[in-house]
Structure 1
Amino acid sequence: MSNDKWSQDVTETSDALDLEEGVFTWNDPDAIAKSLKKSAQASERKKGSDYQAAMSMLTFYINRAGKDLDAKQKNVLEAAKNSLRHEFGRD
Structure 2
Amino acid sequence: MSMTQTGSLTLRSDHPVETRGGNTSTFTRVDFPTPFPDGAEVVVLAQVQTFSGPHTPGLRIADVTPQGFLIRMNEVYATNAKSDGTHGNEKVGWIASTV
TM-score (norm 1): 0.31
| TM-score normalised by length of structure 2 | 0.29
Higher share in helix? 1
Which is higher, the Rg of structure 1 or of structure 2?
Answer: 2
Q: With a CA cutoff of 8 Å and minimum separation of 6, indicate the structure with the bigger relative contact order.
A: 2
